A = this chain, B = another copy of it.
Amino acid sequence: MTRERLYLYDTTLRDGQQTQGVDFSAADKVKIARALDALGIDYIEGGWPGANPTDSDFFRQAPKLKRATFTAFGMTKRSGRSAANDDVLAEVVNAGTGAVCLVGKTHDYHVEMALGISLDENLANIRESVAHLVAQGREAIFDAEHFFDGWKANPDYALACLDAAMEGGARWVVLCDTNGGTLPADVGAITAAVTAHIPGTHVGIHTHNDTENAVANTLAAVDAGARQIQGTLNGLGERCGNANLCSIIPTLMLKSPYRERFDIGVSEDGLKELRRASHLLDEVLNRQPDRHAPYVGAAAFAHKAGLHASAIIKDPSTYEHVDPDMVGNQRVIPMSNQAGRSNLLRRLGDAGIEVDRDDPRLGHLLAAVKEREDQGFAYDSAEASFNLLARRMLGCLPVFFEIDRYRVSIERRYNALGERVTASEAVVAVHVDGERMISASESIDPVTHQDQGPVNALALALQKDLGRYQEYIDDLRLVDFKVRIIGAGTEAVTRVLLDSSDDTGEVWSTVGVSANIVDASFQALEDAIVTKLIRMKAPAVRMAVHG
């Protein structure tokens, strides 16, 4: 079979921007466009020049792309004027991009109801707008809005709209499931009817996730001959989102029958960068990455079930449909009360702790993990704390410092201006190899000058003076903090999960459990600092005695 080329069209910066709560700055857009270009995307749609100040700014300071065709979005000209005299269209054309994508209506009801023009006028608008782009030397793309619903209502008219665009000289006509309600079988059948009429090498697909079928709808259209795929990073988009390129790209490259049939612009090395592009978008949006995202999520290759974990160790393909390394991801075998000995060995190996399979201490460690998980510790979410527990039980936990005591106080009162204020203050006393250090800290945000509460105060006091270890923890940062109450009534305890990081960008998670929320936080904090010192290979005072 000869291989065919599939083209990828990213609309994160335009349709993704339609999402409630998403407002990219021009600088954000530059950052994302660069990542998409490096990944190997063919078309990067930057926005709608003239629609809002940010998009206009972005097109003025358009990034130089190495490979991708930079694309402006707009709509077909309005009735009653020529394409050259439509000021909205003019702003789009004036952005000077290599390709321009114009959306137009193809559902007869919408033409008459929303536009209030005749069906023929709409055809003329499409044809003339596209021809205008081509006359300006641009690659023209026609987004056929509501195409599938339009087809169901009036297939001849829907197809006539595509023909009008092709007659105008469009490089692509893109079938848009604007409301996201079309199911895969219908997308396949309707796309096949289109590609029987217009060569699939000119047909694209644009789907939304309102029935959770955006990816499947995209694949169904490719199966039916469509050769351009529109989507967004992480499936960002209005309502339930657009087709997720982070799922589609690995499927096309790694799975049958696509990998045997198609080439795309993404290289094998590019595929390994997909996870980074996905996280970049989350970072720009200040969102926690979805741990369960296909291919790129932190848990996409996490195996919790004991039975699975033992088979995985024998042969990873038993429970993995692709090799995580191919998509720049990695296998995770977390700890949990369902995990068995195989799981434990694997986790210890990952943590760099070598233990013999028959070592009797493994049984003790397994029992300790179970006992502490019954108390509320969650080691599958806090691998760094698991690592410390394992080291303690196996006699290889370095001791750097010992907490003698801490005290934290929180006060709320009215200040001299009659404003209600809160203040937190912590004191921590530690021993470092015989030396005793005592540090105090308030908890005031440097920017807002607001009290940040007792946990922040304790963290600041604890990190203030660790004596000879101080230099190792200067770049330690707390990046996330989660609290969960477990049980109820007098048996309730608080579990705190803490994510920490440093200048390497790596993140490690620790856990603390106590009926006292502050003490649970302090335990997680102490584990975070000890983990940092182990990571830095700081010289220990001694090894902990297991007892």
Contacts and interface: CB of A to CB of B under 8 A. Distances in A.
Interface in A176-193: 178-185
Contacts of A338: 18, 51-52
Given A315-B113, A338-B51, A219 B409 contact: no
B414 A406 contact: no
A241 interface: yes
A474 interface: no
The 9 closest A-B pairs by CB, nearest first: A181-B321, A216-B216, A453-B516, A405-B413, A483-B483, A212-B247, A409-B409, A212-B215, A407-B411
B337 A114 contact: no
A53 B480 CA distance: 31
- Interface size band for A: 35 or more
Contact of A424 (B216, B241, B443, B516): B516
Nearest to A424: B516
A485 B286 CA distance: 9
Contacts of A434: none
A542 to B, nearest CB: 19
A504 to B, nearest CB: 18
B378 A23 contact: yes
A301 interface: yes
Which among A182, A318, A332, A518 has the greatest number of chain B C-beta atoms within 10 A?
A: A518
A314 interface: yes
A180 to B, nearest CB: 6
Interface stretch (A118-126, A302-310, A344-352, A529-537): A302-310
A487 B284 CA distance: 11
Nearest to A335: B20
Interface stretch (A62-70, A163-171, A287-295, A464-472): A287-295
A345 to B, nearest CB: 17
A185 B223 contact: yes
Contacts of A113: 311, 314-315, 318
Contacts of A197: none
14 contacts: A179-B320, A210-B321, A211-B255, A211-B294, A213-B215, A403-B412, A405-B414, A407-B412, A408-B411, A445-B515, A452-B490, A452-B516, A480-B485, A483-B517
A262 interface: no
Interface in A456-501: 479-490, 492, 494
A213 B494 CA distance: 35
A110 to B, nearest CB: 6
Nearest to A302: B20
A183 B219 contact: yes
Contacts of A311: 110, 113-114
A291 to B, nearest CB: 7
A23 B338 CA distance: 10
Given A338-B51, A484-B286, A518-B454, A304 B19 contact: yes
A33 interface: no
Contact of A294 (B110, B212, B447): B212
B408 A292 contact: no
Interface in A267-289: 286, 288
